[in-house]
Amino acid sequence: MTTAAELDAADPLSGYLDKFYRTEEVVAYLDGNSLGRPTRASVERLASFATEQWGSRLIRGWDEQWYDLPLKVGDRVGAVTLGAAAGQVFIGDSTTVILYKLIRTALDARPDRDEIIVDTDNFPTDRYLLEGIAAERGKKLRWITPEHDAGATEAQIAQALGPKTALVVLSHVAYRSGYLADAEAITKIAHEAGALVLWDLCHSVGSVPISLDEWGVDLAAGCTYKYLNGGPGSPAFGYVRKEHQDSFRQPIQGWMGTSNPFEMGPAYEPHDGIRRFISGTPSVIGMLAMQDMLDLIEEVGMAGVRAKSEKLTEFAVELFDKLLAPKSVVLASPRDPARRGSHVTIDHDSFAEVNAKLWTQGIIPDFRRPNGIRLGLSPLSTSFQEVETGVRAIEAGLQ
Ligand SMILES: *Cc1c(COP(=O)(O)O)cnc(C)c1O
> Judging by DSSP bridges, how do beta strands 219-222 and 165-171 pair with one another?
unpaired
CA dihedral (16, 19, 25, 31) positive or negative: negative
Q: Are 255 and 264 in contact (CB under 8 A)?
A: yes
Query: Confidence class of residue 341 from pLDDT cuts 50, 70 and 90?
Result: very high
Query: Confidence class of residue 190 from pLDDT cuts 50, 70 and 90?
Result: very high
Amino acid at 329: V
Q: What is the mean pLDDT of residues 251-261?
A: 95
pLDDT at 99 over 90: yes
**Residue 214: per-residue pLDDT:** 98
**Residue 76: per-residue pLDDT:** 98
Question: How far is Cα 1 from Cα 16, in angstroms, rounded to an integer?
Answer: 25
**Residue 281: per-residue pLDDT:** 97
Question: How far is Cα 169 from Cα 153, in angstroms, rounded to an integer?
Answer: 13
**Residue 157: per-residue pLDDT:** 98
Task: Please provide the average confidence, as pLDDT, over all residues in the chain.
Answer: 97
Percent of the chain with pLDDT over 70: 100
Q: Domain 47-296 belongs to what topology?
A: Aspartate Aminotransferase; domain 2 (3.40.640)
Query: Confidence class of residue 399 from pLDDT cuts 50, 70 and 90?
Result: confident
Q: Are 187 and 197 in contact (CB under 8 A)?
A: yes
In angstroms, how far apart are the furthest CA atoms of the chain? 69
Question: How far is Cα 340 from Cα 343, in angstroms, rounded to an integer?
Answer: 8
Task: Using the mean position of ligand 1's atoms as its centre, give its distance from the Cα of residue 206 in Å.
Answer: 15
Q: Are 287 and 91 in contact (CB under 8 A)?
A: yes
Question: How far is Cα 228 from Cα 234, in angstroms, rounded to an integer?
Answer: 10
Q: Walk across the sheet containing 330-331 and list its strands.
A: 330-331, 343-347, 372-376, 366-368
Is residue 203 lining ligand 1, measured as CB closer than 6 Å?
yes
Q: Which of 16, 90, 100, 123 is catalytic?
A: 123
Enter the DSSP assignment of 340.
Answer: B
Read off the pLDDT of residues 275-315 as tens digits, 9 standing for 90 and up: 999 999 999 999 999 999 999 999 999 999 999 999 999 99
CATH superfamily ID and name for 4-30+301-397: Aspartate Aminotransferase, domain 1 (3.90.1150.10)
Question: How far is Cα 117 from Cα 130, in angstroms, rounded to an integer?
Answer: 10
Q: What is the mean pLDDT of residues 110-116?
A: 97
Question: How far is Cα 7 from Cα 146, in angstroms, rounded to an integer?
Answer: 34
**Residue 24: per-residue pLDDT:** 96
Task: Using the mean position of ligand 1's atoms as its centre, give its distance from the Cα of residue 193 in Å.
Answer: 28
Task: Using the mean position of ligand 1's atoms as its centre, give its distance from the Cα of residue 291 in Å.
Answer: 20
CA dihedral (173, 179, 182, 187) positive or negative: negative
Read off the pLDDT of residues 143-177 as tens digits, 9 standing for 90 and up: 999 999 999 999 999 999 999 999 999 999 999 99
Query: Confidence class of residue 204 from pLDDT cuts 50, 70 and 90?
Result: very high
374 has catalytic annotation: yes
pLDDT at 116 over 90: yes
Q: What is the mean pLDDT of residues 259-282?
A: 95
Q: Are 176 and 332 in contact (CB under 8 A)?
A: yes
Q: Are 87 and 212 in contact (CB under 8 A)?
A: no
Q: Are 285 and 272 in contact (CB under 8 A)?
A: no
Q: What is the mean pLDDT of residues 18-38?
A: 98
Q: What is the mean pLDDT of residues 210-236?
A: 98
**Residue 348: per-residue pLDDT:** 98
Local structure of 200: helix, strand or coil: strand
Residue nearest to atom 2 of ligand 1 (CA): 202
Question: How far is Cα 190 from Cα 166, in angstroms, rounded to an integer?
Answer: 9
Is residue 127 lining ligand 1, measured as CB closer than 6 Å?
no
CATH 3.40.640.10 domain range(s) in the chain: 47-296
pTM value is: 0.98
Q: What is the mean pLDDT of residues 308-332?
A: 98
Question: How far is Cα 217 from Cα 386, in angstroms, rounded to an integer?
Answer: 36
Q: Which of 16, 55, 88, 80 lies closest to 285 in space, CA to CA?
A: 55
Angle between helices 351-360 and 384-397 (to 10 degrees): 120
pLDDT at 1 over 90: no
**Residue 28: per-residue pLDDT:** 98
- Tell me the helices (H) and strands (E) count for the chain, helix number first: 15, 13
Amino acid at 130: L
Is residue 207 lining ligand 1, measured as CB closer than 6 Å?
no
CATH 3.90.1150.10 domain range(s) in the chain: 4-30+301-397
Is residue 93 lining ligand 1, measured as CB closer than 6 Å?
no
Ligand 1 mutation pick, 102, 118, 125, max ligand atoms within 8 A of CB: 125
